Structure 1
Amino acid sequence: MSVLLETSLGDIVIDLLVDNAPKACENFLKLCKVKYYNYAPLYNVQKGFSFQSGDPIGPNQPGSDGGSSIWGLLRDSAPKTFTAEFHNKLKHTERGTVSMATAPAPSGDPDERVAGSQFIITLGNDLDFLDGKSAIFGKVVEGFEVLDKINDAFVDEKGWPLKDIRIRHSIVLDDPYPDPDGLDEPEKSPVPTAAQLATVRIADDEELEEETDPEALEKIRREREARAQALTLEMVGDLPFAEVKPPENILFVCKLNPVTEDEDLELIFSRFGKILSCEVIRDKKTSESLQYAFIEFDNQKDCEQAYFKMQDVLIDDHRIHVDFSQSVSKLSDNWRDGENTKRRRTGGGWGGVDNLEKKKQYRAENTEVKRNDGYGLLVDRSGHKKNRERSSSPRASKDRGYNRERSKDRSNGRDGRSRSDHHDSDKRDRRDDRYRHYDDRDKHRRR
């Protein structure tokens, strides 16, 4: 008398001890025959101790009644439990011992316990704690590697596997008992009920493989690096916000002939729609064309048409290349200037310029900053205001007067004469000394 349980981790074959526990064996066999255990979860997994199953939905789950014996399942008037059988010779000494989970009898008799459909399979040896509490009726003879997998499964604090372990199917290999009245064996395995599907966390057939493709990992690394760089640019003020995207109505054109002018491009591309701006980028010193340009259309649709139609078109003997712009410079300028509402552009294709201030992360709402130093640096005007207030104080005025007097003293001599007067006086003294030297030399010769 044996039963094969097909689980999501493999097959388990159980031999039933019909001589020692006939009632429990009959109950288990008939429940397997009507596919009562199909899609039942494994729960209460305790490593090195045991696991439990037999409730089609799972204990303490919505819609669960704890399970029923075959007699309570076939007749509404019959109780859902039966009196468990305990044999003195049957102990939980070996791994793979199968027993019915029991509960105290409703009658209150301490020597009587009842069982329904839930059963326990041990994962360790010499578990005498279960003796007298779980009624042994079978033992595992095949599928010990499946028990090892269940024992190593990741579970939560309540013993539920994080990834579902289910009984997919049950097959009765040998049944010595006649079927009770009302038992109809289904022709095929029934589909899971809605209540059973609602308890699924991670499906037992769902693959949880970590991404190991080198190209995919490199892509993830670059995306993370790009986000970090964008966040840095936002923090220093070069981007309005890290998630800013380039406008979708601006076209990038390259491989231009150096002689191609703005007016030429605007005339050629204007057939696709209204152009707001067309600019060939030039060297600041020499004003020579750098052979690429940006063309801003009034709407995104016109820009897309130009993108599809103008690829590899010959302009001034050069085949141009067009693409959508990846620059956000105009977007950043609008954000910095604070004149979003005065612009012609409404921001339809690029997220709405008016919403930029709402998305900034590293700007305090009451901070007054302005780019006014000629180098594109952020200057705190409140600091300048404090300096002006400090310079207008009485002490500052006194210090300025003292500094002016010292400056005047440095420019004038200590006797009050100007530096130019001192210079003229020194000049006259040197001239008189020179003439005096000549007179002394003449007197010496006459002697």
Structure 2
Amino acid sequence: MSVLFETSLGDIVIDLETEACPKTCQNFLKLCKVYYYNLNAFFNVSKDFLAQVGDPTATGTGGESIWSLIASQKGEKAPRYFTPEFVPRLKHKQRGTVSMAVAPAVGEEHKGGCGSQFFITLGDNIDYLDGKHAAFGHVVEGLETLDKLNDVFVDSDGRPFKDVRIRHVEILEDPFDDPAGLVVPDSPPTRPPDNSTRIAEDEDPLETLPEEEAEAIRRKKAAQASALTLEMVGDLPFANVRPPENVLFVCKLNPVTRDEDLELIFSRFGPIMSCQVIRDKKTGDSLQYAFIEFDKREDAEQAYFKMQNVLVDDRRIWVDFSQSVARLNTSWSNNPKMGAPMGRGGRGRAKGGFGGRDDLEATTRYREQSQGPGDDYGMVFDVPGRSHKSRSRSPRRRERSRERPRRSKSPRERRRDDGRDRDRRRSRSRDRRSRDRYDRRR
């Protein structure tokens, strides 16, 4: 009467002493039949001594007999263990002896005996186990598997660092009738019964990947760590957020390039929902980069390939897909226009700002005011009903300013203002030439 154990280290065939130990062998075979030992881990391995298995919890305190298992499935109570069968001629002399682990008696309620745990000896002449644990079989095939099991690395408690599991059990011959109430599952389990944190039995910790795959894995882990860091500091709403696929980032712009110029140039690829040159909050000077949002992702991809390194206002621009995701987060922006529609009326406005910067959230775009051609700059997305001038001066402050005499400008200030006017006139002239060149190309 034999049983085949397919383990993660190899196969083991065990012959059972069914005539000398009928109750022990019946318990063992029926537990094998209900897949009780499938995916169990060897939780105690001592070199040249023994390898213990049969506890689903892999702690050394679990396991029960087949009769206790049947009773528990019915909601009834039965003794957890049965009385061990000690046979004087069955001793622990040879390596590969299979023996039931005998639990000691604790008090009157907990009587000792045999449950489901068993062990296989890994050395010869271990005679001090005779009379303490009940031998009932021996290994006839798979001694090389026992050699591998004897050489595994274990911790201070004898648990292998890499799990060694019984993958499958095959009963080669069973002479016993099934106990009353025995229910055989339709299929063996697919998940281990214990919650092991060790190296998995099918995992190779020393396996090396090709350099390209290893580099890709390292970059992916580094990106995940960076995203988690940005989430912790508040720059990302959540770590798994992805940047929009229809927004382009354009940099290396000429300081004189305006929103209208970029929109005119990029509009040939498709409808543009937003075109915005980012400018300094105080001076209104261009920061020489912009964000362009297309209606469709395909249009953004086409513009990305066609406009790379193109000459715009005597500058070769750089185009890339936007990596900003701040516009997806609507809970930490001070922009009063948050949530406004993104049509033509909201051109130059990307919801949520860019990169989580407060200055760009509050001042998304500047344009020339109607006071004079190129005289001053104003914010498009100010608080409704309040211009930048009315916000900077309260009525009382304006009244005080009328009472104070106006200070005449110094020669240095007049030269500075004349230079600014001259620069604005040159800028408008260059803008007109750029539009004319573009119109001629079209």
Q: TM-score normalised to the size of structure 2?
A: 0.52
Aligned-residue offset at 1:121: 0.8
Cα separation, 1, equivalents of 2:179 and 2:220: 66
Q: Kindly indicate whether the alpha-carbon contact (under 8 Å) linking 2:96 and 2:139 is maintained by their aligned counterparts in 1.
A: yes
Q: Distance in 2 between matches of 1:70 and 1:224?
A: 50
Task: Give matches, 1:77-88, under 5 Å.
Answer: 79-88=79-88
Whichever residue aligns with residue 14 of structure 1, its letter is I
307, 321, 324: which one aligns with 2:300: 307
Are the equivalent residues in 2 in contact too, given 1:346–1:353 (CA < 8 A)? no
Q: 1:99 to 1:272 in 2, by over 3 A?
A: same
Measure, in 2, the Cα distance between the counterparts of 1:326 and 1:33: 58
Map of 1:199 onto structure 2 = 195
Deviations 1:371-413 (A, max 9, x none): xxxxxxxxxxxxxxxxxxxxxxxxxxxxxxxxxxxxxxxxxxx
Superimposed CA distance per residue, residues 324-373 of structure 1 (whole angstroms, 9 cap, x where no aligned partner): 3689xxxxxxxxxxxx999x9889354411499xxxxxxxxxxxxxxxxx
Q: Distance in 1 between matches of 2:23 and 2:354?
A: 74
Given the alignment, which residue of 214, 220, 232 partners 2:211? 214
Equivalences for residues 220-369 of structure 1 within 5 A: 251-252=249-250, 264-265=261-262, 267-269=264-266, 272-277=272-277, 294-297=289-292, 300=293, 307-310=300-303, 311-312=305-306, 322-324=319-321, 348=352, 350-354=354-358
Bigger helix fraction: 1
Change (3 A) 1:154 1:183: farther
What's 1:133 paired with? 132
Offset of residue 13 of structure 1: 0.5
Cα distance change, pair 224–141 in 1 and its aligned pair in 2 (3 A): closer
Rounded to whole Å, the distance in 1 between the matches of 2:69 and 2:352 is 68
Aligned AA for 2:86? Answer: F
| Distance 1:316-1:141 versus aligned 2 partners, 3 A rule | closer
Percent pairwise identity = 46
Deviation at residue 69 of structure 1 after TM alignment = 4.4
Where does residue 94 of structure 2 map in the other structure? 94
Following the alignment from structure 1 to structure 2, what is the Cα–Cα distance between the partners of residues 189 and 152?
Answer: 36
Structure 2 CA distance for partners of 1:168 and 1:70, relative to 1, 3 Å: farther
**1:4 CA displacement:** 1.4
SS in 1 for 2:146: helix
The answer (yes or no) to whether the contact 1:38–1:190 under 8 Å persists in 2 is: no
How much does 1:301 deviate?
A: 5.1
Residues in 2 aligned to 1:278 and 1:105: alpha-carbon distance in whole angstroms: 80
Cα separation, 1, equivalents of 2:69 and 2:217: 57
Q: What residue in structure 1 maps to residue 177 of structure 2?
A: 179
| Aligned match of 1:3 | 3
**Are residues 278 and 93 of structure 1, via their aligned partners in 2, closer, same or farther at CA, if it must alter by over 3 Å?**
same
In structure 2, relative to structure 1, the CA distance for the partners of 1:129 and 1:355 (3 Å cut) is: farther
For residues 183 and 273 of structure 2, what CA distance do their matches in structure 1 show? 74
Q: Is the 8 A contact 2:27 2:65 kept in 1?
A: no
Alpha-carbon separation, structure 2, partners of 1:97 and 1:43: 18
Q: Give 2:36's aligned residue.
A: 36
> How much has 1:303 moved relative to structure 2?
10
Tell me the SS of whatever aligns to 1:124. Answer: coil
Go from structure 1 to structure 2 and tell me whether the alpha carbon gap of 1:28 and 1:305 turns closer, same or farther (over 3 Å shift).
closer
Aligned residues: 309
Superposed CA deviations along residues 269-296 of structure 1, whole A, max 9, x for unmatched, are 36624433289xxxxxxxxxxxxx7434
- Cα deviation, residue 43, structure 1: 1.5
Match of 1:152 in 2: 151
User: 1:96-155 deviations in whole A, cap 9, x for unaligned?
Assistant: 1111111335798xxx96222211111223333423321111111111232233333444
One-letter amino acid matched to 1:199: N
Shift of 1:22: 3.8
Which amino acid is the alignment partner of residue 172 of structure 2? L
Distance 1:205 1:355, change over 3 A: farther
Cα distance in 1 for partners of 2:10, 2:53 equals 15
RMSD: 5.3
Retained in 1: the 8 A contact 2:26–2:176?
no
Superposed, 1:15-26 pairs within 5 Å as 15-26=15-26
Asked whether the 8 Å contact 1:30–1:70 carries over to 2, the reply is no
Where do residues 375-394 of structure 1 align in structure 2 (5 Å cutoff)? none
Match of 2:385 in 1: none
The 3-state SS of whatever aligns with 2:306 is coil
Unaligned 5+ runs, structure 1: 228-239, 280-292, 328-339, 357-447
Aligned-partner Cα distance in 1 for 2:211–2:120 = 43
- Match of 1:140, as an amino acid? V
Cα distance, 1:114–1:305 mapped onto 2, change above 3 Å: closer
Normalising by structure 1, report the TM-score.
Answer: 0.52
Task: Confirm or deny: 8 A CA contact 1:14 1:139 kept in the other structure.
Answer: yes
- Kindly indicate whether the alpha-carbon contact (under 8 Å) linking 2:68 and 2:77 is maintained by their aligned counterparts in 1: no
> How far apart in 1 are the matches of 2:132 and 2:307?
86
Task: State whether residues 40 and 193 of structure 2, in contact with CA within 8 Å, keep that contact through their aligned partners in structure 1.
Answer: no
Closer, same or farther in 2 for the Cα pair 1:355/1:141, shift >3 Å?
A: farther
1:406 alignment partner in structure 2: none
